[in-house]
Amino acid sequence: MPDIESLLKEKRSFKPSPEFAKQANWSRKQVAEYRKLGAKSPTRFWAKMAKENVAWFTPWKKVLDWKPPFAKWFVGAKTNVSYNCLDRHLEGPNAWRKNKAAIIWEGEPGDTRVLTYGELHKEVCRFANVLKAKGVEKGDRVCLYMPMIPELAIAMLACTRIGAPHSIVFGGFSADALRDRINDAEAKLVVTADGGYRKGAAFGLKAMVDAAVAQTPCVKSVVVVERTKQPVEIVPGRDCWWHEEMAKASTDCKPAKLDAENPLFLLYTSGTTGKPKGILHTTGGYLTQVTTTFKAIFDVKDTDVFWCTADIGWVTGHSYVVYGPLSNGATTVMYEGTPTHPGPDRWWSLIEKWGVTIFYTAPTAIRTFIRLGDEHPAKHDLSSLRLLGSVGEPINPEAWMWYHRVIGGKRCPIVDTWWQTETGGIMISALPGAVDTRPGSATLPFPGIHAEILDDKGKPVKGEGGGFLVLKQPWPGMLRGIWGDPARFKETYWSKYDKTYFAGDGAHRDKNGYFWIMGRIDDVMNVSGHRIGTMEVESALVSSPDVAEAAVVGRPDDITGTAIVAFVTPKGTTTPDEGLVGRLKQHVTKEIGAIARPSEIRFTNALPKTRSGKIMRRLLRDIASGRAVVGDTSTLEDFSVLAQLRASDED
């Protein structure tokens, strides 16, 4: 089978400005040294990072115990995530951070709250004591099903303080999805809220918990945060109000000295089957990777205000809203609501209001704002920004350029990051003061990360070429397993190649060694013997001035093997007709060649996306092929989109 071909002709390149490079946390010289050390001995590199960036109660006896596919990092060491995120910023030379903003929170209705490191420490200690009073002990799982409010971060840190692994379930999931995740983790306690705010209206959460917990015998207690003041049922003996329990709790709670391999959290990710996978991350290695990558990739300084727009229910929120920023003593922004409420400029108004300096968001959001028009960010002073980031899926070059020009004012480096729930932290990214960036490329693996591209026979693709993205060496933040299912862990991630982690993504490496992520392997199409990634065809379509967003899938074809089907959302003023179909096919041919010209173009007002903003191409493949939609759809944000696409297919 031939390699995955790259048809993009992207040659634009951007050097870090001398001013940015001069002040960067990692200089070109340092990065070269770290790459050399990481290539020669990844364990020595990560040991150096662990010593520099993490506080340990007890040192390790061995950096890595690797019995493929099972790894243990910093064997014998003891630490605590809550201590690293809070206490160490209140002691010694860092004690001044006691009055520094740790979390800046804004609710969708416009209410705000700023928690300093000193205040956050007290709140976390209080809730850790609440958990203890409810019978939660080290090793017990705690389920968090909450809106984006400060209490979610407080609950996470309280769990880490006593060694109780948390399992966060995104607040948009159904009662059935919540029930399944609680039962799989055998959670002892659930923390929730009466509700939250989204698109101008209050939504309920407590009723979902009641329905789920009716079928979860493992749950002994439910703690409820009062957010919206909507009426809820409080079950005597099981339920209690957060504020009432916190009023009774002491602010004194010593952090537990936990083994580096103590389970830190479970995070459920959906698969093609109906059963979600509980990804397990542990303490010391995960903390080392997120602390190090946050410091280096986002170039964070004590004066920065960092905003990652991800919901904490996703791994990006775990790693780069809470743990990475707070372990570095940074100020992190949390926003409860949607990007476009009450107006399409809400995010830009928040950047201006809070003086955000580092902004990290998803390509899906960027494309949404392109569609809404440049006039909305133009209303606001975005001059505080000095660094931009992209996460969640490959970013097409035209969206990258818009982000660079309109949001970054042509002055902000962009770090396009590749990583997964399973990797824990960023794996491939530019280092903003040391690496030239290219629109659409994640650039190079982080030092100490051994990413490679293999062909279908498992042989390395040398030099320029495409294939399967794999990781050849263990890394500190790696998943330690699928909760309760080691056989599935081996089969899903380690069975394709010997002692090698299979990411499930395709990638192309250019002549400069840069990685271009091409999306899920499931999204690679075999057209007349050519293996083409959907991302490149989508990028070509989106570069048309008529297109706001596009998703491309393949369907079986008797002649070519696979026919390319494009689902396209036109820009507001564009008429979706046969003339547009012809223009778009011609545009793709001009941009990347006739082999990538779509056989069919379907127009749609919206695309099926997960609640984290990723397009669910698996569902589009089923629709394009005329099949019934199968597999797990619990992460789908708007089921009406699926119904509309089915209806248009029947027409």
Residue type, 155: A
pLDDT on residue 468: 92
Cα separation of 71 and 262, whole Å? Answer: 13
pLDDT on residue 648: 61
Structure-model confidence comparison of residues 515 and 172, the more confident one: 515
Q: Phi and psi of 398, rounded to 5°?
A: -70, -35
Cα separation of 269 and 635, whole Å? Answer: 9
* pLDDT band at residue 647 using 50, 70 and 90 as cut-offs: low
* DSSP per-residue string spanning 78-108: EE-HHHHHTGGGSSGGGGGGGGSEEEEEE-T
pLDDT higher than 80, residue 644: no
The mean pLDDT of 153-164, rounded to a whole number, is 98
Closest to 259 (Cα-Cα) out of 139, 342, 157: 139
- Contact 403/390 with Cβ under 8 angstroms? yes
pLDDT on residue 630: 53
The first and second tokens of residue 43, run together, are 């364990």
The first and second tokens of residue 428, run together, are 């491939």
Number of H helices, E strands in the chain: 21, 31
pLDDT on residue 446: 98
User: Cβ of 98: how many Cβ atoms within 10 Å?
Assistant: 15
Closest to 637 (Cα-Cα) out of 593, 607, 617: 607
The mean pLDDT of 552-565, rounded to a whole number, is 81
pLDDT on residue 612: 61
pLDDT on residue 554: 87
520: left (phi over 0), alpha (psi -120 to 50) or beta: beta
Structure-model confidence comparison of residues 646 and 281, the more confident one: 281
pLDDT higher than 80, residue 1: no
CA 522 to mean position of chain CA atoms: 20
- Contact 205/230 with Cβ under 8 angstroms? no
Ranges 169-173, 276-280, 441-445, 579-583: which has the least confidence: 169-173
- Contact 531/4 with Cβ under 8 angstroms? yes
- Spatial CB neighbours of 650, under 8 Å, sequence gap ≥ 6: none
Cα separation of 250 and 429, whole Å? Answer: 43
pLDDT on residue 568: 92
Strands 201-204 and 501-509 come out as: unpaired
CA 582 to mean position of chain CA atoms: 37
The mean pLDDT of 266-272, rounded to a whole number, is 76
Cα separation of 369 and 398, whole Å? Answer: 13
Structure-model confidence comparison of residues 612 and 602, the more confident one: 602
Residue type, 146: M
pLDDT on residue 555: 86
DSSP state of 247: H
* pLDDT band at residue 99 using 50, 70 and 90 as cut-offs: very high
pLDDT on residue 2: 44
Cα separation of 470 and 459, whole Å? Answer: 11
* pLDDT band at residue 273 using 50, 70 and 90 as cut-offs: very low
- Spatial CB neighbours of 358, under 8 Å, sequence gap ≥ 6: 298, 299, 300, 304, 305, 306, 307, 385, 386, 387, 388, 389
- Contact 492/503 with Cβ under 8 angstroms? no
The mean pLDDT of 622-643, rounded to a whole number, is 68
List of domains in the chain: 81-254 (3.40.50.12780), 546-650 (3.30.300.30)
pLDDT 10s digits, 123-133: 999 999 999 99
Q: Phi and psi of 429, rounded to 5°?
A: -170, 155
The first and second tokens of residue 602, run together, are 């379907």
The mean pLDDT of 231-251, rounded to a whole number, is 97
pLDDT on residue 519: 77
* For the chain, percent of residues with pLDDT exceeding 90: 73
pLDDT on residue 540: 85
The mean pLDDT of 246-267, rounded to a whole number, is 98
The mean pLDDT of 500-509, rounded to a whole number, is 92
- Spatial CB neighbours of 17, under 8 Å, sequence gap ≥ 6: 411, 413
Radius of gyration of the chain (CA): 24
Q: Phi and psi of 595, rounded to 5°?
A: -60, -25
Cα separation of 58 and 261, whole Å? Answer: 13
Handedness of CA 397, 403, 405, 411 (dihedral sign): negative
| Complete edge-to-edge strand list for the sheet that includes strand 515-520 | 451-454, 465-471, 501-509, 515-520
The first and second tokens of residue 103, run together, are 């979390």
Cα separation of 475 and 556, whole Å? Answer: 39
Cα separation of 212 and 183, whole Å? Answer: 10
pLDDT on residue 266: 98
Cα separation of 187 and 215, whole Å? Answer: 12
pLDDT on residue 393: 83
Cα separation of 613 and 607, whole Å? Answer: 10
- Contact 36/28 with Cβ under 8 angstroms? no
* For the chain, percent of residues with pLDDT exceeding 70: 92
pLDDT 10s digits, 375-417: 999 999 999 999 999 998 889 898 999 999 999 999 999 999 9
pLDDT higher than 70, residue 8: no
Cα separation of 368 and 388, whole Å? Answer: 17
pLDDT on residue 271: 52
Q: To 10 degrees, the CA torsion angle through 316, 317, 318, 319?
A: 50
* pLDDT band at residue 589 using 50, 70 and 90 as cut-offs: confident
Cα separation of 247 and 484, whole Å? Answer: 37
pLDDT on residue 618: 79
Strands 142-145 and 166-168 come out as: parallel
pLDDT on residue 272: 46
pLDDT on residue 635: 58
pLDDT higher than 60, residue 182: yes
pLDDT on residue 632: 57
Q: Which helix H or strand E contains 512, and what residues bound it?
A: none
pLDDT higher than 70, residue 269: yes
- In the predicted model, what is the mean pLDDT of the chain? 91
The first and second tokens of residue 271, run together, are 């698969």
pLDDT on residue 521: 75
